[in-house]
Amino acid sequence: LNDNPSHYKITLSGTVKSPKLNFDPPFLMLMPVPLDVKTETAINIIPQDYLRQSQIQVELPEAELEDGDRIYPFSVQFPEGQDIVLSSDGTNKELICRISFRSSRPVSFLGSIFFIDEEEN
């Protein structure tokens, strides 16, 4: 280039893809059950555009009872682990998440469960 930039021109272009998670099914409805009985279902978490390994963390909601007490009736398990792994073909492996609900006191609840990666997305 030697102080003469008019002879060289470089143009770069690209696309930025942000990692994201999709869910199958996209929402969850658990059936009513008797007190202190667990109801459970599995969902598939489908990571997309993760270029390096990451781990999923979960924030579970609390439920407020009529008397003001707060409980955490939800729990989650990842039977095959909660690491997002890049496979040899460049895709991310699906994760299985088992979500369960159990309460020893009557409660009806509508809320969100947050799945967060290591970069807090």
pLDDT digits (tens, 9 = 90+) for 21-75: 999 999 888 888 999 999 999 999 999 988 888 999 999 999 888 888 899 999 9
- Domain range annotation of the chain: 20-116
Tell me the CATH class for 20-116. mainly beta
pTM of the model: 0.77
Tens of pLDDT, residue by residue over 65-86, are: 888 889 999 999 999 999 998 8
Q: What 8-state DSSP symbol labels residue 7?
A: G
Q: Does 2 score more than 80 pLDDT? A: no
Closest residue by Cα to residue 48 from 82, 22, 23, 15: 22
Contacts of 43 (CB under 8 A, 6+ apart): 23, 24, 25, 28, 96, 97, 99
Written as one letter, the residue type at 59 is E
Closest residue by Cα to residue 45 from 28, 26, 60: 26
